[in-house]
Each structure stands twice: as C-alpha cells, then as structure tokens.
Amino acid sequence: MLIPSHGLQFHVEDRGEGDVIVLLHGFTGAVENWEPFIEKWSDRYRCIAVDLIGHGKSSKPDHATSYTMGAMSIYLKDILDQLNVKKANLIGYSMGGRFALSFAVKYPAYVKSLILESSSPGLETAEEREERITKDSALAKRIAESGIDEFVAFWESLPLFQSQQHLPSSVQREIRNQRLTNSTTGLINSLKGMGTGTQPSNWEQLMYLPHPMLLLVGEEDEKFIEIANRMAERLPEAIVEQINEASHTIHVEQPQIFDKMVIGFLEKLSERQN
C-alpha cells in the first residue's frame, strides 16, 4: 500500500499481528528484499517494511533536501502514527541500519529495540565526512552519466559484495533485477541526502540510547566488525554477533542464521520484559 507523508508517497508492506518489526533496506534495496522473512515472521509479529525515499515504489523527488536522515525520520514517524504503531523493533541493513539508528536518536520513544546489520553511526570526523562526500559525489556523477544498468554492474563488482558471487545464480538474478528497478534520480539524491558523508555523526549519541541492540556482522566484513565492536563499547546495552561464512549482506548470504539470530534476540527481549 501507499501511505502519504508531507506531500510524498511511501510504499509500505504491513502484514501480521503482534509485536511490531519495522524492516529498513539498504542502498539500492527495496521492501521485497525482506519478503522471505516477512513470510516467516508474520505469523508471530506484525512486520512493516518500508521503501525508503528514492527507492522501490516510494516517491523520488528531485531535491536532495527531502532525502536527509532527519527528513526520512519525520516521514517514518508519520507512517507509524498513521498505522497506529506506538513502539517498534527496528531492523536495518547498511544504509537502513544507519537510518534506524538516526531515527532512534530523534524519536527514542518509538523504539523498543534495534537490530543493526552491517551498520554504523556515521563517520566521526569532519575530514572523514568530506572525503566520503567527494566519493559519493563521484558515484552520483557516474550514475547520472552511465545509467542504472552500468551502475548496478559496477556496484555488484565492489569487494563488499564479492561474497554474493557464491550464491545460487537464481538468487543473484533476483537481487540484480531488484536493483535494476531503481531510478537515477532516487539513487543520486539518496547518496546526496542519506550518504555516510552527509548524515550527522551519531557516535556521541550512542551512550544515551537505552534500547537493547543486536549488532550483526559477517566474519569477512572486517571494517564493520571493528565498527560494531567500537559501537558496543559505547552502547549501554548491545550484543555483537559475528556470522561465519558471510560478509556485508548477512540476510542474503546466511538467511537461516539471520532468522535464528533475530528471533532469538526478540524472544529473549520479550521474556525479559514479561
């Protein structure tokens, strides 16, 4: 279904009943990335998956100012209000994890717990952010000049996603076909508005977040293993789980383990709160 917010439209999948799980995809992703888990979890939980701005079937406005973490947080709060959701467990992958954390900083009362897969609180220093903005600007230029097909081929070739080449060809085709549905406007403005360089750093806010957190990282994703361990040092209540035989996209590379980790975490949380 489409839900309006501040003059935009957001594609939302809302299925099941019970404690709420909000699923937030990564850059170039969409709601359908979560379909296998929604299918499995919706018999016990209310699963709400959202196409973030510029992605999937959600609006793709021309101005990057509509794509910031702060703006998307306002949209999500509005969506949850319209769906009568007072508190939710947020699951975010990569960019979706950065956004989930940004949402928790802005609207902590709406968050029950956070499950962050291959995610970060952003970059700590202004120098790091400026360097990343330069890289993302070059990437945005590449998308504008070469189009989606060439960009998707380039994106799939990045070392971050090399482990996906071991997936069944049918799964690889499914991922590629979904990425190819993206628009140049949506991806370019997502880089400009929600990129790691442009988003505010949340490192200093971590110590003030009271929410239980599960930080999932793949054993081959050394950069994000280090980030997760550093995050856990600052967070009041966080667990780091390192998944064997996986890199950045754990939910794709090891879906059964991802399922086990998520549900195990939520069940323990429920037992503790009852």
pTM for the full predicted model: 0.95
Q: Does domain 2-122+200-273 have CATH number 3.30.420.40?
A: no
DSSP H stretches of helix in the chain: 35-41, 69-82, 95-106, 126-156, 169-180, 184-194, 222-234, 250-253, 255-273
Comparing CA positions, the residue from 73, 88, 95, 103 lying closest to residue 29 is 95
Boundaries of every domain in the chain: 2-122+200-273
Alpha-carbon distance of 124 to 161, in angstroms, equals: 24
Beta strand 8-15 with 238-243 is unpaired
Alpha-carbon distance of 139 to 107, in angstroms, equals: 31
Supply the DSSP symbol for 182: -
Alpha-carbon distance of 271 to 150, in angstroms, equals: 48
How much is the pLDDT for 236?
87
The amino acid present at 156, given as its one-letter code, is E
- Distances from the Cα of 212 to the Cα of 22, 35, 76, 99, 266, angstroms: 15, 25, 20, 17, 10
* Element of type H or E holding 23: strand 20-24
Tens of pLDDT, residue by residue, the chain (274 residues): 999 999 999 999 999 999 999 999 999 999 999 999 999 999 999 999 999 999 999 999 999 999 999 999 999 999 999 999 999 999 999 999 999 999 999 999 999 999 999 999 999 999 999 999 999 999 999 999 999 999 999 888 888 888 887 888 888 899 999 999 999 999 999 999 999 999 999 999 999 999 999 999 999 999 999 999 999 999 988 999 999 999 999 999 999 999 999 999 999 988 887 6
CB 68 within 8 A of CB 90: no
Q: Which residue has the tokens 């994000």?
A: 224
Phi, psi for residue 266 in degrees, rounded to 5: -65, -35
The amino acid present at 265, given as its one-letter code, is F
CB 110 within 8 A of CB 87: yes
How much is the pLDDT for 274?
64
Alpha-carbon distance of 206 to 40, in angstroms, equals: 31
